[in-house]
Each structure stands twice: as C-alpha cells, then as structure tokens.
Amino acid sequence: MEPYIIEKRSDNYILFTINRHEKRNAISFEVMDGLEKAINLAKEQNVKALVITGAGESAFCSGGDLSVFHGLKTEEQAYGMLSKMSNILYRLLTLEIPTVALMNGVAVGGGCELAISCDYRIAKEGIKAGFVQGYLAITSGWGGGTMLVEKMQSNHAEQMLMEAKLNHTDKLLQIGFIDSVYSGDSLEACEQFLKNMTDKQVEVLKAYKSILIRKWEQSNLKGRIDEEVRRCAVLWADEAHHEAVANFIAKK
C-alpha cells in the first residue's frame, strides 16, 4: 500500500492524503517525499488550493514515525531529518495558494506542526490536538512552534506548547488554533469552506497570499524556524529524549 495518495479533484484543488492508517498516519521519509511532490504539483498545475488530510477516521497525523526516527541518535542525525521536514513545511507555508489541513482525526506532535503550516485548519467535531513533544523531552522540531507563535495570540501559543497536552475542538477553536469545526463528510465540509475562495481567479489568490509571504520574509521567519530546528536537534541527542521514547514505545 502506498504511504500517500495525491489526487487532483474536480473542484480544482489537490488532495494529499497520508495513507498510513495502521500507523495513525505517522510521517515517514516516504511521506515527506510525497508531500514535496504534492507541493510541486500544486505549483506546476496552477490549481487553486492544496488540502492535506489523513486516511481513515481516527487520525489526521500522529507526528513522526517513532519506529523509524528513534534510530536517529546523534544531533547530526536528528538535524538531517528535522531540517528536511522543516524545509518542506516552510515550502507548504509559503505556497502561493490557499492550503488547508483537513483534520479528520487526532493531531499529535508533528501532526500539529503539519497543520499549523497550512493557512487554515478544519477539524472534525470531537477530535483532539496538541503539541505533545514536551513529554518526549524535546521541543517542536519542524518549525511548528515558530509558526504557531507567528499565527496565534502569543500567550495561547506558548501555553499550548509548554503544557504539551491534547485539547478538544471547542478549546482549539477558542484559542484560534482551528478555523472551523465540521461534522459529516470531511471533503464536503472542506469544499464548502473553500468555495468562496476557489471561485476567484488563481492570480487573485496568489496576490493576496504574497502579502503574507512578504511579511514572513521580512521578519526572517525562515531563520527563526532554523533556530528552532537546531535547538530541537540538541535536545534530541540527549539521553532524556531517548529514554522517554523507549518508554513510550514499550507502553504501546
């Protein structure tokens, strides 16, 4: 089974699905490559939106695949993986068209970093989401913490990062992490959310998105993300992280 699915939908958007239901749609190196392909395709085909979701109904994305990434022990090894994904998420963040995280299930750790990289987050009623990296003795390492502070009210963002707990949709909506809550069919809800954007000319959408991109470039957002990645790589190599991950895996 392919680890991801890329589809061009009739409504002129690209749908990227993490297709690892048995792994709660955890991100592997193959999923990273697929996400980069979807971003490239969105640019090449001049579509009006890119939507990211997870297979099944239980998880949007459970973060990095610990069964794979737990093998990364040193700061250098960790930085290679972290910087690869952070560069992909920065490309997603600065894609010139609207992007949507269609959160059809729980979003944990790196799953929240993927979600905050998108312009909008639409969540299924009753799901939970949280930056839980603190329980593994690391920080967000793909740039998601920096993006969260950039996009949300700073006190809410810092609390979400430091508490490292899962929050329900009502709380996530209240603090501004998600933009909309839906019930029923996820794609129908997403298309309904996007319809007043995708009925505009693509060049209009790109022109408005470029306002945000210029702001991020002028404030050195990429440099701030790189610093976040480097700090996480240092923590990753610490024995406290390796012990926390080993204990987590043993409990599963």
Range 238-249 average pLDDT: 93
pLDDT at 10: 81
Residue 35 CA to its chain's centroid (Å): 11
For residue 222, pLDDT over 90 is answered with yes
pLDDT at 249: 86
The answer to whether 71 touches 29, Cβ cutoff 8 Å, is no
pLDDT at 197: 96
Range 197-213 average pLDDT: 97
To the nearest whole percent, how much of the chain has pLDDT over 70?
100
pLDDT of 48-75, one tens digit each? 999 999 999 999 999 999 989 989 999 9
- Full 3-state SS string of 180-218: EEECCCHHHHHHHHHHHHHCCCHHHHHHHHHHHHHHHHH
Domain range list for the chain: 4-198
Q: Is the dihedral of CA 234, 236, 237, 241 positive or negative?
A: positive
223: confidence class by pLDDT, cuts 50, 70, 90: very high
Mean pLDDT of all residues belonging to the chain? 96
For residue 250, pLDDT over 90 is answered with no
Structure tokens at 170: 């009502």
pLDDT of 5-48, one tens digit each? 999 998 799 999 999 999 999 999 999 999 999 999 999 998 99
DSSP-derived pairing of the beta strands 49-54 and 4-9: unpaired
For residue 194, pLDDT over 90 is answered with yes
| The CATH number of the domain covering residues in 4-198 | 3.90.226.10
CA-CA-CA-CA dihedral for 59, 173, 175, 88, to nearest 10: 40
Distance CA 235, CA 13 (A): 38
Distance CA 57, CA 124 (A): 9
For residue 252, pLDDT over 80 is answered with no
Distance CA 36, CA 14 (A): 13
pLDDT at 200: 96
pLDDT of 129-178, one tens digit each? 999 999 999 999 999 999 999 999 999 999 999 999 999 999 999 999 99
To the nearest whole percent, how much of the chain has pLDDT over 90?
94
88: confidence class by pLDDT, cuts 50, 70, 90: very high
pLDDT at 11: 77
The answer to whether 19 touches 2, Cβ cutoff 8 Å, is yes
Neighbour order of strands in the sheet with 128-130: 59-61, 106-108, 128-130, 167-168
